[in-house]
């Protein structure tokens, strides 16, 4: 619970959080995932590159995930901040993206999990990182489960 509160506070710092996130994504990509490959409670991290919905430019961000067969499940929690993460807004505008896990990269198509899929995946996410449950208590904003499916 402490970790989730600390991360929530960090997400609310606006520009500072944005700079830290961009630096993490850049270093992750440059080091082939050797820089901060895990996040709180050992959650694995990917670099997710989306297309900016306004700029049209590639935007990379580190995102924690759980595996669901050949798909990755992610949650736009933004550490429970009231602000929806830009990567999720970008994926809603253009669901085509790129994932980097370690040195491996592949194209994905994002979609919101169906209610049945979300019900099945939610316990896996909660088990992998207890902070997800706490994040839901920090905001009234919806935090859906998003599936990244290989193309």
| Residue pLDDT, tens place only, 28-58 | 777 777 666 667 667 888 999 999 999 999 9
Q: For residues 3 and 133, what is the distance between their CA atoms, to the nearest angstrom?
A: 12
Section 63-69 average pLDDT = 93
Burial of 76 (0-12, 13-18, 19+ CB in 10 A): buried
Residue 138 has what pLDDT? 65
Q: Which residue did the predictor score with more confidence, 114 or 132?
A: 114
C-alpha 128, offset from chain centre: 14
Alpha carbon distance 14, 34 (integer Å): 26
Q: Which of 42, 41, 146, 39 is nearest to 99 (CA)?
A: 146
């Amino acid at each position: 619970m402490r970790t989730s509160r600390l991360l929530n506070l960090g997400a609310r710092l606006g520009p500072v959080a944005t700079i830290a996130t961009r630096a993490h994504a850049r270093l992750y990509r440059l080091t082939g995932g050797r820089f901060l490959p895990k996040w709180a409670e050992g959650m694995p991290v990917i670099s997710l590159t989306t297309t900016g919905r306004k700029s049209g430019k590639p935007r990379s961000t580190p995102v924690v995930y759980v595996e669901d067969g050949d798909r990755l499940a992610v949650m736009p929690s933004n550490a429970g901040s009231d602000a929806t993460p830009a990567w999720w807004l970008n994926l809603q505008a253009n669901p085509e993206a790129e994932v980097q896990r370690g040195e491996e990269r592949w194209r994905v198509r994002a979609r919101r999990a169906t209610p049945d899929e979300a019900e099945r995946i939610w316990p896996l996410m909660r088990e992998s990182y207890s902070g997800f449950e706490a994040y839901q208590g920090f905001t009234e904003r919806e935090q859906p489960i998003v599936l990244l499916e290989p193309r």
